[in-house]
Amino acid sequence: MNENEKQNTRLSDQVFDSLLTEMLSGQRPPDLSERIITAWRQQTGVDAAQQASAAAGHSDGLKDAHTASSASGKQGKLLRESGKGHDTGDGLRASSEQVVCQRSRTAAAIGQQVSLAVHGRRRSTREHVSSSSFWMVVAAAAIAVAISGPILVRHFPRPADELRAEVGTSQRGEKSPVPSPGPRREATATAIAASQGNLPDDDATALNVPPAAPPAFPLGAPKAGQVSTAQLPTSGGGVAGSDALVPEAEPLPEKELVGHVDAMLVQMWESLGLVPSPDLPPEQFMARAHLRLLGQPADSQLLGRVANLKNAADHHRMVSYLTRQPDFVDRLAEFLSNELLSAADRALRGELAEPMRQEIGRVVAGGDSWGELIARWFGASATSGGEAIPPLDDEDERGWAQAYLLQILAQNDRQRALERLGGVLLDANVACVRCHDQRHQLPDIPRRELIDRQDEYWGMLALWQGIQWQSSDSQAPRVVDRQQQLLAGEGLPPVYFERPDGRLQLAFPQLPGGRQWSEVDGADTPRVAFARWLLQSGALDRAAVNQAWRLVFGRPLVPMVDQLEPAGYPQRVALQEFLASQFRAHARDLRQLVQWIASSEAMQRSPATESPHQVLVASEEQLLQWKLQEGVFAAAPAPGIAPDRSLSAVEALASLADWIGGASLSPGNVLLAQPAPLPSADKKRRTGSRPQEPSSSRSQQPTINFYIHRQVPTPAEKEFVRRLVANERLSWEQRVEHVIGLSDTTVDPEKIQQLAAQLLRKRENNMEETLYDLLWAIKQAR
């Protein structure tokens, strides 16, 4: 059980114990109505006489109601006296019931009618502790409603669509989350004004007309100059609306398609003024492709067979040969299932790993649609052959058992699950958006992320309410969908989230990009709508491109956070869009997608440096140049910088923390070299590692047996670290979390936090240097 699960269990026990204590100790919730209203009157300086006077000025009926409710109020006081503050068991319940029975029948009847008419549902049987003053004021309300009905209209629940029309202005392109008053609100204000005696328009503002904004709870006034990020203008136009349905592209023949990819890569390198590194010789290309696609080194016999191949078409033949191997299917299935399962807790991971891997394997081998598999795993369906397959019904036990993604999202720690799945399925860094809106550093890039604002994250999280695990003595635990039941009642409730300035804001359940789930054709519940939207929006296709690119190159084509890798970002986005549209046009065949990527010019690049020794003696400019080349795939990773490419972030950090003996040339320019572990020790330390890339046969440099960490930060990295260090509101742990959030792979945050703290001490509290180390370690883990 991990820390999150422990915490969830502890909190769940805590709530359960408190209910148990209440039942057994008889310490029931007291009736605090009168006390609170009295306190409110004192606070606002309103006394009873003023109340009565105000009421008398408006209605005789209201006066009658006050009279009636005064009696009831006295009874309430008696009740409290007999209860002596806290109830001592069943006594209060009995007394309370008695008071309810003795209440003025007229007032009670009117009040009940109003209550039922307005709220449209029965009161809970346990709500016996109703305030006597409540009945007093409800009686008054009954009459007041008759006189000035519109006054109360605004306070009662309204149809969800209408609410969204008012509140849900949080659509893209708007500067502020605060919606403008809609026509209905204006009408209400006018009606209130009219009911109060035809006040001029200007006076309507004095009538306590509620703001259209979601209620915000001030936890402290924002500091001068501090502006909520939600109010900052967003870069680019509102793409999401048009992005909701991606137009179909014509499927291109493979050769032409790869030609396009190559042209786009070359164009990117030219625009950056980069000369790509030379082509790899065929046997090295085969060695590299074999390792990346099959997860194991090629044997010498195979390398010998390809040594004499000459032209570019041969690269495609090699890749095609490799992607037809059963090992490729296994590797891709394992890679994708591991990515998805990183969102699951340990127990679920163990349970789902094999079936998920097998199903992905079948889809890859059969050339079936990745999208349809994902939809099925959400317990929904895509369209197949133009016909919609209905979503799972309650009785379909097998279907529910195979709804793996629902099972992951039904876990206790849904936020973590969503954040991991966001990266794998939505191509969005959801973890960042949980706490603050994404800042886009590149204004020329159209907003392509579908989730880059806090309210979008929380709105999406709210979509999954009602999906839960259920267990009982007679049945094994299983996932159930209670969304229909919730919808039959009040609907999925909105959630509140905390903005960076400490204020609370409301988020309605909605699809990423602000689209309403009910707008998705044929979707009767949010989860089905989400699955269908996922397939329509293009997000899944972009995410698939990034995942496939990561399989082949160790890191995604388009980074999740644009701030740190701005080089060639627009071109990378364009390439990703192109590949995504073709992936979709080719029926989302994963094998083909990987094949296109692995056949591209990027895969044919040789390393920019031939030996690790060059890295150690290179100038800073040269190092930066190599880093840029590698960053935009114009060169393969330099050999020997980390002899074992499977070094995880934790291992990389641990090695740094163990050995800070390297010379620190200047802040932000750290040179470290550490003896690599011996093979036996290495074997112990590695878990699930990838085999080492075979050394170049052309460059017969002796293998350097050192981890080399030559961290020369780019200007973007320097700026990122500077801002992290300069932000005084962030704790050290939060700073580390921000760097961890940049990781493309699953990392152990707790372990990294520990190591980062250790490293910080060794670096004598130099946060900047430690964060550079951390950045290196995180990137090392790709």
Partner 1 sequence: MKSKVEGALQASTVHTELELAELIDRHQVMVWRYLRALGADAALADDLTQDTFLEVIRKPLTQYSDSATASYLRRVAHNLFISRRRREARMTVTDNAEAFEDAWMRWAGFDGGNAAMDALEECFGRLTERAQLALRLRFAEEASRSSIADALGISEHGAKNLMQRAKAQLRDCVKQKIS
Instruction: State the minimum distance, in angstroms, from the CB of residue 470 to partner 1.
Output: 6
Which residue, 27 or 484, is less far from partner 1 as judged by CB?
Answer: 27
Which residue, 130 or 381, is less far from partner 1 as judged by CB?
Answer: 130
637 Cβ partners below 8 Å, 6+ apart? 554, 607, 630, 645
Which residue, 35 or 722, is less far from partner 1 as judged by CB?
Answer: 35
Nearest to 479, CA basis, from 339, 344, 337: 344
Residues constituting the chain = 782
Q: Does 17 bind partner 1 (CB under 8 A)?
A: yes
Instruction: State how beta strands 706-711 and 669-675 pair.
Output: antiparallel
Instruction: State the minimum distance, in angstroms, from the CB of residue 465 to partner 1.
Output: 8
Which residue, 419 or 744, is less far from partner 1 as judged by CB?
Answer: 419
Q: Does 108 bind partner 1 (CB under 8 A)?
A: no
Dihedral angle, C-alpha 492, 493, 498, 499, nearest 10 °: 70
Q: Does 263 bind partner 1 (CB under 8 A)?
A: no
Which residue, 476 or 663, is less far from partner 1 as judged by CB?
Answer: 476
List the interface residues with partner 1, window 149-208 (CB under 8 A).
Answer: 151-152, 154-158, 163, 167, 196-197, 199, 203, 206-208
Q: How far apart are CA 297 and CA 289, in angstroms?
A: 9
Q: Quote the tokens at residue 338.
A: 């591991």
Which residue, 70 or 412, is less far from partner 1 as judged by CB?
Answer: 412
Angle 326-341/590-598 helices, nearest 10 degrees?
100
Q: Does 501 bind partner 1 (CB under 8 A)?
A: no
Which residue, 311 or 472, is less far from partner 1 as judged by CB?
Answer: 472
Which helix (H) or strand (E) element contains residue 188? helix 183-195
Q: How far apart are CA 433 and CA 499, in angstroms?
A: 11
Binding mask 445-484 for partner 1 (x = CB under 8 A): -----------------------x-xxxx------x-x--
Which residue, 468 or 695, is less far from partner 1 as judged by CB?
Answer: 468
Q: Does 102 bind partner 1 (CB under 8 A)?
A: no
Which residue, 113 or 697, is less far from partner 1 as judged by CB?
Answer: 113
Which residue, 53 or 102, is less far from partner 1 as judged by CB?
Answer: 53
Which residue type sits at 722?
Answer: R
Q: How far apart are CA 435 and CA 230, in angstroms?
A: 11
Instruction: State the minimum distance, in angstroms, from the CB of residue 520 to partner 1.
Output: 22
Stretch that binds partner 1, among 216-224, 401-409, 558-566, 735-743 (CB under 8 A): 216-224
Q: 1, 6, 32, 312: which one contacts partner 1 (CB under 8 A)?
A: 32
Q: 141, 636, 642, 752: which one contacts partner 1 (CB under 8 A)?
A: 141
365 vs 51, 323, 707, CA distance in Å?
A: 77, 10, 38
List the interface residues with partner 1, window 111-140 (CB under 8 A).
Answer: 119, 124-127, 129-131, 133-134, 136-138, 140
C-beta separation of 449 from 437 below 8 A? no
Instruction: State the minimum distance, in angstroms, from the CB of residue 525 to partner 1.
Output: 17
Instruction: State the minimum distance, in angstroms, from the CB of residue 778 to partner 1.
Output: 25
Instruction: State the minimum distance, in angstroms, from the CB of residue 282 to partner 1.
Output: 54
Q: Does 233 bind partner 1 (CB under 8 A)?
A: no
Q: Quote the tokens at residue 145.
A: 């409603």
The three-class DSSP label of residue 579 is: helix
C-beta separation of 259 from 569 below 8 A? no
List the interface residues with partner 1, window 388-427 (CB under 8 A).
Answer: 412, 414-415
Give the Cβ contact number of residue 371 at 10 Å: 22
> Percentage helix, strand, coil, to 5, in the chain?
55, 5, 40
729 Cβ partners below 8 Å, 6+ apart? none
Stretch that binds partner 1, among 271-279, 441-449, 490-498, 594-602 (CB under 8 A): 490-498
3-state SS, one letter per residue, for 509-529: CCCHHHCCHHHCCCCCCHHHH
Residue 702 C-beta-side C-alpha neighbours within 13 Å: 3
Q: Does 53 bind partner 1 (CB under 8 A)?
A: yes
Q: Does 563 bind partner 1 (CB under 8 A)?
A: no
Q: Does 100 bind partner 1 (CB under 8 A)?
A: no
